Amino acid sequence: MDIDRRYFLTQALLAAGVSATGASAQSGANKLGIPGPYRGRVVAVQHPGSVKSGRYQREPVRDMMRKAMMELTGAPSWQDAWRIFFEPGDVVGIKVNPVGRPYLISAPEVFQEIVAGLEVAGIKRQDIVAYDRYRDEFLSGGFQKWLPEGVRWSSATSTNDGLQLDMKGYDLDHYVEMALVSAKANPTDPHHRRSYLARFITKEVSKLVNLGVLKHHQSAGITIALKNLSH
């Protein structure tokens, strides 16, 4: 199935950084489908104690996220806010970003509060999966060392070998056809022209939380939601 890149990325994201995919997305399409229930709404929160001595502080980060979820949704409590997006039976993937390791990566303080929000929405920990496309980068980022007990993790392939033609972790039926190939690629080989979705995403996960990191990127220019989800 050939997927237009623009269509895929717009369908994959919701305003709050949450997206719905697969069967669960179809059942909740009216509620969470693009453009989402909070189209164009941006929430900013601040806390003077969120960073001390160059380190994120767990409790202020928690308070910021709970306030932001309530302001985004208008829910009377942070628990109700999370229940707008998630429900028991969902399998939720959390896309982390290890590229700027060791310092500029997805933070455990934010991840842990996401897990807390998912749990109050009725999601079991075994149905929460942290992931990145490269196994070695995930491990090098140290995510596995602080994942809450019971939360799983996954990846699409072991490492970036330049051409990235190891297909075992990818779904060959779901891809974006690219007009250009790298200098090392063979333009006559369809695998060199296609960007495949991870099998984990198409077969196991019903919803995604996109935990990007605001930073510079030499190819994309800047890393936010779209860049983090596609890489």
The model's confidence at residue 24, banded by pLDDT at 50, 70 and 90, is: very low
User: Which residues, 6+ apart, have CB-to-CB distance to 203 below 8 Å?
Assistant: 171
Percent of the chain with pLDDT over 90: 55
The model's confidence at residue 164, banded by pLDDT at 50, 70 and 90, is: confident
> 3-state DSSP call for residue 209?
strand
| Mean of pLDDT over the chain | 85
pLDDT score of 190? 87
Q: Using an 8 Å Cβ cutoff, are 81 and 73 in contact?
A: yes
The model's confidence at residue 125, banded by pLDDT at 50, 70 and 90, is: very high
Element at 138 (helix H, strand E): helix 135-140
pTM > 0.95: no
Query: Which tops the pLDDT comparison, 57 or 164?
Result: 57
CA-nearest of 177, 223, 229 to 14 is 229
pLDDT at 3 exceeding the cut of 80: no
pLDDT at 216 exceeding the cut of 90: no
CA-nearest of 108, 192, 197 to 144 is 108
For 61-91, what is each residue's pLDDT tens digit?
Answer: 999 999 999 999 999 999 999 999 999 999 9
pLDDT score of 30? 58
DSSP class of residue 189 equals S
The model's confidence at residue 27, banded by pLDDT at 50, 70 and 90, is: very low
pLDDT score of 8? 37
For 97-111, what is each residue's pLDDT tens digit?
Answer: 998 888 889 999 999
pLDDT at 202 exceeding the cut of 70: yes
Element at 69 (helix H, strand E): helix 58-73
Q: Give the separation between CA 227 and CA 217, rounded to whole angstroms.
A: 9
pLDDT at 15 exceeding the cut of 50: no
CA-nearest of 72, 73, 57, 159 to 107 is 57
pLDDT score of 174? 92
Strand blocks (E) in the chain: 18-20, 51-52, 55-56, 92-95, 128-131, 152-154, 170-177, 194-198, 207-210, 215-217, 221-223
Quickly list H helices, 75-128.
Answer: 78-85, 108-120
Taking residues 187-200, report their average pLDDT. 88
Q: Give the separation between CA 59 and CA 173, rounded to whole angstroms.
A: 43
